[in-house]
Amino acid sequence: MLDLKFLRENPDIVKQNIKNKFQDSKIELVDEVIELDAEGRKVKQEADSLRAEKNKVSKQIGAFMAQGKKEEAEEAKKKVTDASAHLAQLEEKERELQEKVTKIMMVIPNIIDPSVPIGKDDSENVEIEKFGEPVVPDFEVPYHTEIMEKFNGIDLDAAHKVAGNGFYYLMGDIARLHSAVISYARDFMIDRGFTYCIPPFMIRSNVVTGVMSFAEMDAMMYKIEGEDLYLIGTSEHSMIGKFIDTIIPEETLPKTLTSYSPCFRKEKGAHGLEERGVYRIHQFEKQEMIVVCKPEESKEWFDKLWKNTVDLFRSLDIPVRTIECCSGDLADLKVKSIDVEAWSPRQKKYFEVGSCSNLGDAQARRLKIRVKGENGEKYFAHTLNNTVVAPPRMLIAFLENNLNADGTVNIPEALRPYMGGKERIE
């Protein structure tokens, strides 16, 4: 959410930013907010004046009574009563106007970083850099579920009977590989100085609206019927929520955390052939990283975060590339975002396995996450998040890139301690 003062003083910048995100229908909201804000400040000024006058008259009542001026005292009491009634009306109007302003401000997109390429959707995202040499083997690489089935490692039919589409059973060495990747990712991030955390897997609505836009919430979140609780779509939600309504001493920053959680997503809409199997599902597990830092440090941390993911995938012999998300592909709260994509030898192209985002102070402003500087001044923190690894989608890249012609799968040296010393899956 933008700073209202910034919007009031820079309406043209906010409108141009909306145009850059190809959300022209929201441009009129800027003028609407300015009008409502002006009316709200006028009402507040009137209420403050009336409140001061009421207090002044209230003090006179005692003096009139002490002087035996009963008639004047009664007249003053009537003024106080009338003022109280009028003040209640003004306070209610002020509250209504503030609620309207907040509601609109929640849908006006954050100001994107000047380095973000302008484009309508993900088709206009920009490749930045490739890491590792993409290889297409001289044998046919089967679809990922076929690879898993040869190891008796997946049962989609049983999962469909138990839970419906978008769910799976992983078994045997494939299930073990899944857990090994998560454990390796956890230790990888701990070795890089991040504090390991297991967060709540459900969060309240005020946290949901603090970390994401209404559109994202509707498309992603599962609500618990009859309760003010939502299943998390990623541990970023509850990890950023951990700092809700707090004042963090500046000297304790940055907060660098890596978290494990299951994730639950609606994944609305029809998907293509390549999104069958375990590519796009309702339930998966994930290792995440989040940073809460000073504003001047967020750009530096952004680069550190996506590089962590690249390094992890390269340590498992998986070629990757980084993609800069264009303006139209950025969620409303994001300032800048880079996707990490892994090479698929079967498809002969890259596909997304992680996303790194800088939210600026948008989440902190919504959740009231403030920092107290050395001089006592308070300001909003910056928040960032990035996927460390998210199997089972990551398993697709792993199995395809480590598959041998005889159907066995190599286990990279870094992962062998988590697989009981195995060098390959047979």
Phi-psi region of 360 (alpha: psi -120 to 50; beta: other; left: phi over 0): left
Least reliable range by pLDDT among 211-220, 344-353, 411-420: 211-220
Classify residue 175 as exposed, middle or buried by CB count within 10 Å of its CB (0-12, 13-18, 19+): middle
- pTM for this predicted structure: 0.89
Judge whether residue 387 has pLDDT over 60.
Answer: yes
Q: Which residues contact 315 (CB under 8 A, 6 or more apart)?
A: 188, 412, 414
Residue range 196-209: mean pLDDT, rounded? 95
| Exposure of 254 in the CB half-sphere (CA atoms within 13 A) | 24
pLDDT at 69: 81
Judge whether residue 150 has pLDDT over 70.
Answer: yes
| Full 3-state SS string of 181-209 | HHHHHHHHHHHCCCEEECCCCEECHHHHH
pLDDT at 65: 79
| Residue type for position 320 | V
**Domain covering 4-105 in this structure, CATH number:** 1.10.287.40
pLDDT at 268: 61
Task: Report pLDDT digits (tens) over 283-325.
Answer: 999 999 999 999 999 999 999 999 999 999 999 999 999 999 9
Task: Report pLDDT digits (tens) over 325-335.
Answer: 999 999 999 99
Tell me: cis bond preceding 345? Omega within 30 of 0 counts: no
Interatomic CA distance for residues 76 and 33, integer angstroms: 39
Least reliable range by pLDDT among 11-20, 54-63, 302-311: 54-63
Tell me: cis bond preceding 200? Omega within 30 of 0 counts: no
pLDDT at 270: 44
Residue spans of the domains in the chain: they are 4-105, 122-425
Task: Report pLDDT digits (tens) over 168-190.
Answer: 999 999 999 999 999 999 999 99
- Percent pLDDT > 70 in the chain is 98
Q: Supply the mean pLDDT for the chain.
A: 93
User: Residue 275 — pLDDT band, cuts 50, 70, 90?
Assistant: low
pLDDT at 199: 97
Give the DSSP per-residue string, 41-73: HHHHHHHHHHHHHHHHHHHHHHHHHHTT-HHHH
Q: Can you tell me whether residue 234 is helix, strand or coil?
A: coil
What token pair was written down for 304? 């550190």
**Among the residues of 21-170, which ranges form H helices?**
27-66, 70-105, 144-150, 156-163
Task: Report pLDDT digits (tens) over 22-37.
Answer: 999 999 999 999 999 9
**Domain covering 122-425 in this structure, CATH number:** 3.30.930.10
pLDDT at 269: 52
Among 291, 289, 302, which residue's Cα sits nearest to residue 253? 291
Rg over CA atoms, the chain: 28
